[in-house]
Structure 1
Amino acid sequence: MTTTTRPTQPIGDLLRQWRKRRLLSQLELAGQAEISPRHLSFIENGRSAPSRDIVLRLAEALGLELRERNPLLLAAGYAPVYHETSLEAPHMGAVRAMLRQVLAAHEPYPAVVLDRYWNRVEANQPAMLFRVGVSEELLREPLNLLRLTLHPEGLAPLITNLGEWRAHLLSRLRQQVIATADPHIIKLHDELVAYPCAQPEPGIELPGPGDIAVPLRMSYGEHTLNFFSTMATFGTPLDITVAELAIESFYPADPATAEVLRTTTW
């Protein structure tokens, strides 16, 4: 299906808002989009109607995600070009199969597929680790990984470096707020910020001796498990749903963690 949300503002107003959010001058944005500053000024002031090609070039120069490009097209009088297709659609079977193949190949280490709002789409069996000790309320669908991690009835009591990990996650979410201005993401951020945390949260992530990434350290029975994680996305997506999927893969940061994961049956 195609996202057809009607614009509430003229194309010029939307462009100006995104340009200011990106801290770009008209001269800078025009240069990146390869149009004249005069033409951009006329578009923003409603004195000129941009072609569809120029709208897409401006969206690309602004670094807008696919979801944000359709409203620009609609505001300029053009049909949306990017579809948002349910993963349950028959022709998305290849995408689902690829995701499950990647998750299975990562075992015995945890991996999850997330959507734009950090809701779980798929997960492998070792990711059951992240459900241990979590309240049933937080495990209801849609299962939000950030809420599950930072909520006091979620994983938070088990995370031994909660202040550090919380600051890291909230920093990532704030970057997403800046990039998208999505009200749902802003609401999620405000909810998570209000959760209690007894540990100090670093304002700026600085590496300690030997650190190469922010670790996730959590208690599991008599063990303390140490992880680092990576995020992977589709390289050339043309569908909104696919563009917004991310695979977060967790790797053991020490031999003891690897051994626990290899010898645990989920």
Structure 2
Amino acid sequence: MATVVSDTGVGPLLRGWREQRRLSQWELALRADSSARHISFVETGRSRPSEEMVLRLAEHLEVPVRERNALLLAAGYAPRYPESPLDAPRLETLREGIERLLQGYDPYPALVVDGSYTVLAANRGAGLLLAGLPEHLLAPPLNAMRLTLHPEGLAPRIRNLREWRGHLLAQMERQMGLMRSEALRELHAEVAAYPLPPNGEADEPPAEGTDPYIALPLRIEHDGRVLSFVSSISTFNAPMDVTVAELAVEAFLPADPETAAYVRSLG
């Protein structure tokens, strides 16, 4: 996923991020220990911000690491954050930590995805959800959104597909607001256009007497029974590498005692 650099300079880019965050120039200046006048001069191109100021504004605007590099380039500075392949030697400790984390979730499904939802790693428990899918969906590179929403993927098995599909599409839309990624936009357009399978027109209600879920569950059929999972997503704090910044570990934890007991019996 390439960094997108604007040829209009850093000012309009910063203004775009500020407006997206719904901050006034005065509010941003107060947070960044600057002045509204200076922020205005930067945004209009009348003043060239220092490298330190670009990074400070990016931090207070919660700009993703990849886009901070784009701001630096637009301001005439070198990128600050490297983008290392996940198999790079410098990320060996990270890879080992992720592997231990995935193993720790077993037998419950867990996987690691990048900013475009490409599956980079998964544990054995993930095979519970992916078993029986066609080979063309399981061929590398696997994509979590395609696997879930494709009419030949998990979609026909999901009993609350309308709710879960809406949740995933909204998640992608929020991601697109943070990442200027054409690949992500193309993926969103692709999966949003998938036709609903025959059982996807209406969600099947949970069985009577079921306790309310603590979060929206993924209710999915497996071997003649319905399993319920809630999803938890973990990211890394204060990342200093683009690759690390875009990694997310998603775990599917049992939403009810029956699912927990069944998955443990398989494990």
1:177-233, Cα deviation, whole Å (9 max, x unpaired): 1222322222221112111233358xxxxxx97232000011111211111111111
Equivalent position of 1:168 in the other structure: 167
Q: CA RMSD in A?
A: 1.9
Counterpart contact for 2:213–2:255, Cα < 8 Å: no
Equivalent position of 1:211 in the other structure: 213
Unaligned segments of structure 1, at least 5 residues: 202-207
* Correspondence list, 1:101-140, <5 A: 101-140=100-139
Q: From 215, 227, 232, give the equivalent of 2:229.
A: 227
Equivalent position of 1:67 in the other structure: 66
Counterpart contact for 1:216–1:226, Cα < 8 Å: yes
Superposition deviation, residue 5 in structure 1: 6.2
Equivalent position of 2:252 in the other structure: 250
Equivalent position of 1:204 in the other structure: none
Counterpart CA distance in 2 for 1:6 and 1:214 is 37
Equivalent position of 2:11 in the other structure: 12
Q: Match of 1:125, SS? A: coil
Counterpart CA distance in 2 for 1:41 and 1:83 is 30
Equivalent position of 1:178 in the other structure: 177
* Correspondence list, 1:13-162, <5 A: 13-162=12-161
1:28-59, Cα deviation, whole Å (9 max, x unpaired): 22222221110011111111111111100111
Counterpart CA distance in 2 for 1:73 and 1:167 is 35
Q: Which moved more, 1:209-218 or 1:141-150?
A: 209-218
- Matched residue type, 1:104: Q
Superposition deviation, residue 109 in structure 1: 0.8
Counterpart contact for 1:111–1:123, Cα < 8 Å: yes
Q: Match of 1:228, SS? A: strand
- Give aligned pairs, total: 257
Superposition deviation, residue 154 in structure 1: 0.5
Equivalent position of 1:241 in the other structure: 243
Equivalent position of 1:205 in the other structure: none
Superposition deviation, residue 251 in structure 1: 0.9
Counterpart CA distance in 2 for 1:179 and 1:147 is 21
Counterpart contact for 1:84–1:241, Cα < 8 Å: yes
Unaligned segments of structure 2, at least 5 residues: 204-209
Equivalent position of 1:191 in the other structure: 190
Counterpart CA distance in 2 for 1:184 and 1:120 is 15
Aligned-pair identity (%): 48
Counterpart CA distance in 2 for 1:40 and 1:87 is 37
- The structure 1 segments of at least 4 consecutive aligned residues displaced by more than 4 Å after TM superposition are 3-7
Counterpart CA distance in 1 for 2:238 and 2:177 is 22
Using the size of structure 1 for normalisation, the TM-score is: 0.91
Counterpart CA distance in 2 for 1:195 and 1:159 is 15
1:114-157, Cα deviation, whole Å (9 max, x unpaired): 11111111100110122223221111211110111011010000
Counterpart CA distance in 1 for 2:257 and 2:212 is 16
Q: Which moved more, 1:177-186 or 1:124-133?
A: 177-186
- Matched residue type, 1:246: A
